[in-house]
Amino acid sequence: MRNFLNQFFTSYQNLVFIYCCAIYTVYAMLTFFSYLSIIANRRRNRIREKLVMIQSPLSPGISIITAAFNEEMTIIHNVRSLLNMNYPLFEVIIVNDGSTDQTLGKLVKEFQLTEVAFAYNYFIACTEVQQVYKSENPACSNLIVINKLNGGCKADAINAGINVSNYPYFLNTDVDCILDNDTLIQLIQPFVDDDKRVIATGATLRMANDCVIDSGVLVDAKVPTQWLPIFQEIEYIRSFVLGKMGWNLVNAIPNVSGGLGMFDKEIVVKAGGYDPTSFGEDMDMMMRMCKYMLETKQEYAIRYLPQSLCWTEGPSTMKVFKRQRIRWGRGLYQIFSSYYKLLFNPKYKMLGLVVLPYNFIFEFCAPFVECLGVLCYIYLIVFHLINWPFALVLLLFVYSFSILITLLAILWDQLVIRRYRIREVLKLCMFAFIEPIVYHPMVMIFALMGYANQFRKAKSHWGHMERKGFTQPKIEAIN
């Protein structure tokens, strides 16, 4: 038995080393690609004037669809902020997903809503829509509020919103997200300015936890002060600025975030809409959209922008964070159990040969590889089989490379936008040093718990994110 274990762990060490080299090669490549993408984006922004979109009578209409569940604290400010978007033709669709608080009542009162005899058609399946409201105030004529039975998830509510939307593109966002005023102009641009048919676009999301927000508008962007949101901020920067922008260059973006994404409605409807049973509904939707495009032999592109256009409140307590990550873990497991036939399938081109294999090997398998790696180390230490100098060199290799990748992501982010003060950027850099030791193991463990729950088909509820609310700007007394 001992011999077997010795042999197994020795072989495993080699496997992990190869795995590690492969993943770092991909990250190095992504770092380079993301730099090229960011530069290309900067150049394009210098040439393309957003005024064209505002002035043109041909600009396509956009529906902003967002689900609200027990959001009475912030709903009014957030809807006002959505209604003030800088774009010539858009509508705002708020889907009240069976809220048990005063969310609907407040909306009705504030925006002078009245129930209308809406001929609702369930083009995409969703739970029963009870009422549709429109505003009697002409200034809010582009606001539609849908009241429906609770569907238990955001996907169901978004489907309900798609069914009433009037425009060819829709923006899917969370009602508590703070959007930049130019979000629509920025996100629609790839749809109208790309050689291929763009089916979805997204942009960078940031933590809003300690930002100063006034009436749904971001006044001052700040790095979170609590340690859990700071780590998430670092993770988001790395994932969006480096990961997604890197994949953007080769048109291999795996997913458009559920927090902020603009979609081609026609393709979403043809692909069957969002799946309410999926825990990773955003990635599932993208998979089905890509699958549809490939099966109908249409060329397509998914584009990402490096600009931070959306600020969202990240979990600040371990309980909520754990629940979120377990759900993400379950979502990833579901994706691979649903789309395993696409994996390494040349028929699905980039999706089958790059996007899914990468996500399977380096995202889905990573928690297994890492946890087994830790066990292997413990075993080698306990039985005095470890070569300490070699182990230290390998540790240094893994650690230093990880830090370098994170710091480059922060640097690239600074090339795009300089919202944070320099002190705060340096704070982010400092946290990058402890993130691999403190935060990353937690993420891995929660992912494994998610896989286990999904494997056991454990019952789960989506849970409501407990919001702490945003910091309001200080109003100085006028003497």
Q: Which member of 29, 318, 385, 426 binds another protein (CB under 8 A)? A: 426
Q: Which member of 106, 272, 363, 462 binds another protein (CB under 8 A)? A: 363
The residue among 69 and 439 lying less far from another protein, judged by its C-beta, is 439
The residue among 20 and 449 lying less far from another protein, judged by its C-beta, is 20
Dihedral over Cα of 245, 231, 446, 468: its sign: negative
- Of the candidate spans 42-50, 100-108, 152-160, 291-299, the one that interacts with another protein by CB under 8 A turns out to be 42-50
Return the ∠ at Cα 384 (arms to 383 and 389), rounded to 5°.
Answer: 145
Q: Which secondary structure element, helix H or strand E, spans residue 414, and what is its range? A: helix 388-416
Phi-psi region of 44 (alpha: psi -120 to 50; beta: other; left: phi over 0): alpha
Dihedral over Cα of 264, 268, 273, 279: its sign: negative
Token readout for 120 is 């609702």
- Of the candidate spans 75-83, 145-153, 371-379, 452-460, the one that interacts with another protein by CB under 8 A turns out to be 371-379
The residue among 213 and 409 lying less far from another protein, judged by its C-beta, is 409
CA 445 from centre of chain: 20
With binding defined as CB under 8 A, does residue 43 bind another protein?
A: yes
Q: Which member of 29, 36, 58, 438 binds another protein (CB under 8 A)? A: 58
Nearest alpha carbon to residue 104 among 114, 118, 91:
114
Q: Which member of 407, 417, 445, 452 binds another protein (CB under 8 A)? A: 407
- Of the candidate spans 52-60, 256-264, 296-304, 344-352, the one that interacts with another protein by CB under 8 A turns out to be 52-60
What letter represents residue 206's amino acid? R
Site for another protein in 340-359 (CB under 8 A): none
The residue among 25 and 215 lying less far from another protein, judged by its C-beta, is 25
Q: Which member of 7, 114, 225, 317 binds another protein (CB under 8 A)? A: 114
Burial of 407 by CB count in 10 Å (0-12 exposed, 13-18 middle, 19+ buried)? middle
Site for another protein in 246-305 (CB under 8 A): none
Q: How many residues bind another protein (CB under 8 A)?
A: 88
Q: Which member of 55, 277, 317, 472 binds another protein (CB under 8 A)? A: 55
Dihedral over Cα of 30, 32, 38, 44: its sign: negative
Site for another protein in 203-222 (CB under 8 A): none
The contacts of residue 253 (CB under 8 Å, 6+ apart) are 202, 244, 247, 286, 302, 303, 304, 355
Site for another protein in 120-159 (CB under 8 A): 121, 134-136, 138, 141-142
With binding defined as CB under 8 A, does residue 40 bind another protein?
A: no
CA 347 from centre of chain: 27
The residue among 58 and 318 lying less far from another protein, judged by its C-beta, is 58
With binding defined as CB under 8 A, does residue 446 bind another protein?
A: no
State the Cα–Cα distance between residues 65 and 186, nearest whole angstrom. Answer: 17
With binding defined as CB under 8 A, does residue 118 bind another protein?
A: yes
Helices (H), 92-207: 103-110, 154-164, 183-192
With binding defined as CB under 8 A, does residue 417 bind another protein?
A: no
- Of the candidate spans 55-63, 77-85, 215-223, 342-350, the one that interacts with another protein by CB under 8 A turns out to be 55-63
- Of the candidate spans 221-229, 290-298, 369-377, 464-472, the one that interacts with another protein by CB under 8 A turns out to be 369-377
Site for another protein in 69-108 (CB under 8 A): 91
Site for another protein in 175-204 (CB under 8 A): 189, 191-195
Burial of 139 by CB count in 10 Å (0-12 exposed, 13-18 middle, 19+ buried)? exposed
Provide the minimum distance between the beta carbon of 339 and another protein in the complex, in angstroms, as a whole number: 19
With binding defined as CB under 8 A, does residue 333 bind another protein?
A: no
Please identify which residue in the block is written with the tokens 């489907």.
159
Token readout for 66 is 């967002």
Return the ∠ at Cα 65 (arms to 64 and 67), rounded to 5°.
Answer: 145
User: In the Cβ-directed half-sphere of 31, how many Cα atoms lie within 13 Å?
Assistant: 17
Provide the minimum distance between the beta carbon of 467 and another protein in the complex, in angstroms, as a whole number: 27
The residue among 4 and 388 lying less far from another protein, judged by its C-beta, is 388
Spatial contact of 144 and 132, defined as CB atoms under 8 Å apart: yes
Burial of 374 by CB count in 10 Å (0-12 exposed, 13-18 middle, 19+ buried)? exposed
- Of the candidate spans 98-106, 205-213, 429-437, 470-478, the one that interacts with another protein by CB under 8 A turns out to be 429-437
Provide the minimum distance between the beta carbon of 466 and another protein in the complex, in angstroms, as a whole number: 26
Q: Which member of 391, 434, 445, 449 binds another protein (CB under 8 A)? A: 391
CA 188 from centre of chain: 18
The residue among 109 and 347 lying less far from another protein, judged by its C-beta, is 109
- Of the candidate spans 72-80, 218-226, 287-295, 373-381, the one that interacts with another protein by CB under 8 A turns out to be 373-381
Provide the minimum distance between the beta carbon of 56 and another protein in the complex, in angstroms, as a whole number: 4
User: Which residues are 303's β-sheet partners?
Assistant: 201
The residue among 343 and 366 lying less far from another protein, judged by its C-beta, is 366
Phi-psi region of 459 (alpha: psi -120 to 50; beta: other; left: phi over 0): beta
The residue among 48 and 319 lying less far from another protein, judged by its C-beta, is 48
The residue among 153 and 267 lying less far from another protein, judged by its C-beta, is 267
